[in-house]
Structure 1
Amino acid sequence: MKWFEIALVVLTLGSGLVLLLDKLFLAKRRATKGGLLDSEEPALVDYSRAFFPVLAVVLVLRSFIAEPYKIPSSSMMPNLLIGDFILVNKFAYGIRLPITNTKVIPTGEPRRGDVVVFQFPGHPDMPGDPQRGENFIKRVIGLPGDRIGFHGDTLSINGQPLAYEVKGEYVGKGRGAEMNGATLLSEALPGRTHTVLEYLGRANPAGQGDWQVPQGQYLVMGDNRDNSDDGRFWGFLPEQNLRGKAFLIWLNCSGWFCKDGFEPSRIGSGIQ
């Protein structure tokens, strides 16, 4: 959440600044006046000394190493379910500054099939889109320069239709049961095979089309092809909006205190 990131940065910098001012000026002033013992230092300094190391470690881990997210929708079923808590590799696509998401050190680029978290660029026909800047999660389908087509139930890349294998009718548990009856398919992306859900023969006409991916941008789609607000509807994902690569499910818990479901078998699962 954006507000949490801002609060974490502000609190870390604020407590660090208090400690710095205390070391440079306030502690010397207390000593000159025959001041207070360390245990009697001002409460603000005492709290800053206690919380700054913890805040700094959390900020570094969350901004540059791995960040937790919760899956709020069914757009990535069957691979990610509502209530999945995931970890995102924050350095896979470059070291980026918190809040601004500015890349300062390049470390790599997305590969086709990667599941990525990004700041939603917004729908082009909604300048005031309230979801703009929120974190979304989708799969990278089109790389810069690719020609992508999606017609009927088939995805094609650079003129080559992908191969599909029907795995049967999808049967989910808990919140995953909302897509029961859809067809579970294996989709063979170049270099990576993964599963998708579709109601075969009931393709949404609004999600059909052809796209030429510009340089510096990507086309992303959800694995739940008939229930995903993705690049087919709002366009391309700019590289600068990337937040990281999803790689691990560390918990599955839906609702307060898991009242809507808990799936221990998902804990520790890798994200394909």
Structure 2
Amino acid sequence: MNAVTGALFLALGAYAVGWYLDKWSGNFSLLLFILSLVTFVYWLAERFHFLPQRQRAAAALVAADAERRAKWAAQGLKADVHDVESARQALLRQPWWLDWTAGLFPVIVLVFLLRSFVFEPFRIPSGSMVPTLLVGDLIVVNKFHYGIRLPVINKKIIANHEVQRGDVIVFRFPKNPSVDYIKRVVGVPGDVVAWRNQRLYLNGQEVPTAVQGPFYDRSSTRSRTRYTESLGAVAHDMLVERDVLPIIPPDPTMPFADQCQYSVEGVTCKVPAGHYFMMGDSRDNSEDSRFWGFVPDANIVGKASAVWMHFWDFSRIGGIR
């Protein structure tokens, strides 16, 4: 078992190094699931085989010492001093390969359950959600807000709240589900979403905005215009340059491509059933549904609920609007 456990740790280390070096895509949920199963097997082996085996050996040592002392006492001799208790404790002590497997089982399972069904931490890697979320923000994602999903396969088994316009959510990128994205929901099933001339329209009506003044965007190292946008019941900040008209190229390979029409003014899409239209709050610095299409409900990870830490700016800690 010593050699088998060593080989498992070497395989885990190789997997982690390859993941870090981008040799292959990692799946942390799957990794935790596998670790939970492996450590559970070790825990069972420890509970029902290895621990009783060590306990029997320790009991046999104590019994043998007592028998030896009794024989010496019957002969009127004084038994030599042996540190039996230290030897007993040494026999009962877990070897390293059980300490680092069966001993970690409760911790790994707890992390797996919390991360799968309650909350999951994420780090914001890009500026697509500025000014709502900045690069380096550490956020907490509520995994049960939209329902309970089975870990690894992400299948919803218990429904909860419906996805609402204005929600900030983490989801698996449709073109590469091993990558997590974070954007704001601007369109729910049945909505007609249009982004024309740097303005957002929902079902034929322009979404109200109000100018808040300049905002220095550290991710792009330049000042940009900040607006407050009223998206359903949510009023949130966003950045856009009205006098810049970026080209949004059509992608005929994306699912439901026939639901979108592109022009020099922008793009108009009708959101299909079971899907959502996502946009970043930094509208000129976000690759989102305008470019790659809709997000299926099955790809939703959870609702971004709070910034729990930003190491260079503690004032960032708080709820997400």
Q: TM-score, normalised by structure 2?
A: 0.72
| Identical positions, percent | 39
Of 102, 111, 125, which residue of structure 2 is paired with 1:72? 125
Where does residue 203 of structure 2 map in the other structure?
158
The residue correspondences of 1:73-222 to structure 2 (distance < 5 A) are 73-122=126-175, 131-172=176-217, 175-176=218-219, 178=220, 180-206=222-248, 208-222=266-280
SS in 2 for 1:181: strand
Aligned-pair distance for 1:47?
2.9
Partners of 1:183 and 1:266 in 2: how far apart?
A: 20
Aligned-pair distance for 1:205?
2.7
Output one character per residue of 1:108-145: Cα deviation in whole Å (capped at 9) or x when no partner: 221110000000001xxxxxxxx443000000000011
The question of whether the paired residues in 2 share the 8 Å contact of 1:2 and 1:134 is answered with no
Partners of 1:212 and 1:197 in 2: how far apart?
A: 24
Output one character per residue of 1:163-201: Cα deviation in whole Å (capped at 9) or x when no partner: 1111111124xx34x253211011111211111101121
Partners of 1:132 and 1:264 in 2: how far apart?
A: 32
Partners of 1:2 and 1:68 in 2: how far apart?
A: 16
Letter in 1 for 2:320: I
Larger displacement relative to structure 2 (162-171 or 66-75): 162-171
Q: How many residues are treated as equivalent by the alignment? A: 252
Structure 2 residues without counterparts, runs of 5 or longer: 1-24, 62-87, 250-265
Larger displacement relative to structure 2 (87-96 or 43-52): 43-52
The question of whether the paired residues in 1 share the 8 Å contact of 2:185 and 2:278 is answered with yes
Partners of 2:239 and 2:56 in 1: how far apart?
A: 72
Aligned-pair distance for 1:26?
4.5
The structure number with the bigger radius of gyration is: 2
Partners of 2:99 and 2:215 in 1: how far apart?
A: 56
Are residue 241 (structure 1) and residue 282 (structure 2) matched? Answer: no
Q: Which has the higher contact order (CA 8 A, sep 6+)?
A: 1
Where does residue 4 of structure 2 map in the other structure?
none
The question of whether the paired residues in 1 share the 8 Å contact of 2:27 and 2:178 is answered with no
Output one character per residue of 1:234-253: Cα deviation in whole Å (capped at 9) or x when no partner: 00000000000001111124
SS in 2 for 1:170: strand
The question of whether the paired residues in 2 share the 8 Å contact of 1:170 and 1:179 is answered with no
Partners of 1:6 and 1:90 in 2: how far apart?
A: 16
Aligned-pair distance for 1:52?
1.1
The question of whether the paired residues in 2 share the 8 Å contact of 1:167 and 1:183 is answered with yes
Where does residue 11 of structure 1 map in the other structure?
35
The question of whether the paired residues in 1 share the 8 Å contact of 2:46 and 2:102 is answered with no
Where does residue 319 of structure 2 map in the other structure?
270
Partners of 1:133 and 1:108 in 2: how far apart?
A: 25
Aligned-pair distance for 1:30?
5.8
SS in 1 for 2:97: helix
SS in 1 for 2:100: helix
The question of whether the paired residues in 1 share the 8 Å contact of 2:194 and 2:267 is answered with yes
Are residue 224 (structure 1) and residue 285 (structure 2) matched? Answer: no
Letter in 2 for 1:227: N
SS in 1 for 2:27: helix
The structure where helix makes up a greater share of residues is 2
The question of whether the paired residues in 1 share the 8 Å contact of 2:215 and 2:225 is answered with yes
The question of whether the paired residues in 1 share the 8 Å contact of 2:54 and 2:92 is answered with no
The question of whether the paired residues in 2 share the 8 Å contact of 1:121 and 1:133 is answered with no
